[in-house]
A and B are shown apart, each in its own frame.
Chain A
Amino acid sequence: MRFLEVFFMDDTFQTFSYLPFKGTVNLNNPDTHLLYLEYYGIDSNDPPSEPYYVFFGRWITSGFRQLIRELSLKTRKFIGNTSMDPQLSLLMANQAQVKLGDLVLDPFVGSGSLLVAVAYFGGYVVGSDIDYLMLHGKSRPSRIKQKKREENESIKANMEQYSLQDKYIDVLINDFATSFWRDDIKFDSIITDPPYGIREATEKVGIHKENYSISEKHLSTHIPAKIQYEFSELYQDLLAFSAKHLRIGGRLVCWFPVFREDYSEEGLPTHECVKLVSNSEQVLSKYTSRRLLTYEKICEPNEENLNSANTIANFRNKYYKARDENRRERRVKEANIREKNRLEALQRQTKLSN
């Protein structure tokens, strides 16, 4: 980037003389900012003599990149093991097209990192999660150096930290599989990072026994049993929930893990009432990635398609298989290196004793 002074001294400046701007130039307090940019590629050690591109235009608004630092997890009061970094959270809120006065839900809210970004863009936020300790800020601390969580660690406290408390409505402890929302409640967007069963368990409340009940005596202290919440079932529920609880035109933004080799768009969850409008990949490892999916609600569900979302891909088994193979490969590699080192050491020894 070349700086303004250079630009003014430079002949380039004169080449703009054709512009019909007649007034005096006021650099300290301009009415209009005009920007001229020269693009020399991304290798700063070896730039070409002429720029690849030049851009010229009027400044309309600045980007929000500074927010990434402002909302950094490093300085955030309450974080969890699966807090989303601010850049991706902001991106998700943008994908959802959150604007002032929207009502937005994260049904797998965790430490509420997505809601921070949503509230920043003016959305009023509601969240729910199955994890009691997490929502009460009592789960094990996520910072390495921290032994105990502070008093008053919570999603609400985060909102206060960023002066967004006016946008905080509520969070509740709720299993997504048994939703407590009134049937006719509509959200402007739903933005979430569902559990993949990788860093946190994918579970819901339930039991496989028939006619099971808990005695009165044990009720108050009872911790509900959980059963596996199948990955595909969870996404079906999420799409069906969105079809029901989004306003028309409202968006669902969520992550979807995939086994890269097998990925095809047909494997993504679908529902008649929500249309996939964007789909991008974040690579996680050689074998796995996650896709940021944005769906838009196009029509109200009827009785028939209310629960008829489809998911084909069975990511989980594949994921674990890939991981295990990875481990095995690494172990073999490490064993080979050890063996090589051992042989070399032996050789050195023989040389020495010769």
Chain B
Amino acid sequence: MKLITHNMLTSKCMKGVTVGYPLKIQAVDVKTTEVDFNPEFISRLIPKVDWNVLCSAAESIGYLEDLPKEVTENYENNVDFLKKAHRVLLEIDIINGELICPETGRKFPINNGIPNMLLNEDEV
């Protein structure tokens, strides 16, 4: 699971959960893979990203690297910034671990890079 995906997920649909965001990450295996850099895609992605959540997620698994704390103005034309964003959003892959609902502590296992967000029948 990549950090862009983590950024887009909440456990709000669970019974009794009001915000459910951000999910905590417990990473066991993390892999980094090189992904082709497409500045246009990253520019279009950035408005969707909750930047603070991205920073703290990256930090919590030890991959903050030199990601700027804030979105730079005019980022569309800032290749250096886009590359750093690209790195954290797309190249870091959590292979095994858990996502944890911040309100209930419910754990969602990640196996082989695939998070399992299935709820049990008493949780919906």
Contact = CB atoms under 8 A, between A and B. Distances in A.
A169 B5 contact: yes
A212 B15 CA distance: 12
B17 to A, nearest CB: 11
Contact of A170 (B5, B13, B36, B122): B5
Contact of A166 (B11, B35, B111): B35
A130 B118 contact: yes
Interface in A297-334: none
Given A101-B44, A136-B114, A185-B48, A175 B119 contact: yes
A143 to B, nearest CB: 22
A127 to B, nearest CB: 10
Nearest to B38: A101
B96 interface: no
A120 to B, nearest CB: 15
Interface residues of A, number: 42
Nearest to A154: B112
Interface residues of B, number: 36
Interface in A143-189: 154, 156, 165-166, 169-175, 177-186
Contacts of A175: 118-119, 124
A169 B21 CA distance: 20
A180 B10 contact: yes
Nearest to A219: B120
Contact of A182 (B10, B113, B119): B10
Contacts of A100: 38, 40-41
Contacts of B11: 180
A101 B50 CA distance: 19
B120 A181 contact: no
Interface in B1-22: 1-2, 4-5, 7-14, 21
Nearest to A204: B124
